Structure 1
């Protein structure tokens, strides 16, 4: 008779997300997750093949949560310019709340095996506002520009790289407003 399952994949991923924030990526191990959910490490292998899959599942859950927050923030804001500002602020707020998860998602060169559908759903609000501001022909370009700016700004902010003083909040708002204006301007190059 098989032994009953003592943990679920959802519990494993939730424990992994907690460990990521408290212990960093290096502390996100199969052994640590097993201890957190109250089983022995070999029991995890019934649900997760290895650490790489665990990290990918944690990243996918993070992307899903970020996408849900962006979708919720965008709801009810009819003006695309204002919606972009709300999305940028929500993105930044999430990064401050979950800096290790944010870093996991946006680390350059990361070899995470993420489900493309999860990424599409997480990007839906950004793409929708990009379509409204820049048109369907430039939506992906606009969304990538917005994501790159927001990621760069927030990554520098979280790492303490803004060393010249000044008001970081004001700088973020300045950049978000200027970017919204720029994305709405008609490009003067082909396609």
Structure 2
């Protein structure tokens, strides 16, 4: 087996991300990752201190990938479609970063902030700088909920899910663009 110096942290995280998608969070163990990168589990601990640290690194790498995908979106619909594509291509990572569950390790705040930059910028353009955060949260919450339901097979009433997505994106975009008085917001 290769020595630990031949196994990079990037290779470990990539292997862990692949395992997460293949077998789910419960199967993401130090032993499974060690086997995937070709070292013994004790050697893995020289790079990653614990399973929780590994999961945090996976969440951070996933947020970095998401930030890269979203960064140059010029329209809210484009950003939402890229977000949805990420969810479909990496459903387990999507769940880990959007709804990790109680006790699951999470990414450090700066990774979430970096992944939020694109939606905040577009929300600021659409809703104005004073309402950017609220608009970005609304877009993100709606899209994450829709994608989660879609991934879980929760749309069971028939109809065209793609059409529902397009309707929702358009409705959210219109809602955050609409000029409103401050009296609309509850303080």
Q: CA deviation at 1:139?
A: 0.7
RMSD: 1.4
Match of 2:173 among 175, 180, 186: 180
Greater shift after overlay, 158-167 or 103-112? 103-112
In the alignment, the residues of structure 1 paired with residue 109 and residue 88 of structure 2 have an alpha-carbon distance, to the nearest angstrom, of 25
Q: Which runs of 5+ in 2 are unaligned?
A: none
- CA deviations 1:141-186 (Å, max 9, x no partner) are 1111000000000000111111110000000000000100000112
SS at match of 1:142: helix
- CA deviations 1:25-53 (Å, max 9, x no partner) are 01110000000000000111111110001
- CA deviations 1:120-144 (Å, max 9, x no partner) are 1111110000101111111111111
Q: CA deviation at 1:106?
A: 1.0
Q: Which residue of 2 aligns with 1:150?
A: 143
In the alignment, the residues of structure 1 paired with residue 172 and residue 182 of structure 2 have an alpha-carbon distance, to the nearest angstrom, of 18
Instruction: Report the TM-score, using the length of structure 1 for normalisation.
Output: 0.90
In the alignment, the residues of structure 2 paired with residue 187 and residue 149 of structure 1 have an alpha-carbon distance, to the nearest angstrom, of 20
Structure 1 runs (4+) deviating above 6 angstroms are none
User: Do 1:19 and 1:28's aligned partners in 2 also have CA atoms closer than 8 Å?
Assistant: yes
SS at match of 2:175: helix
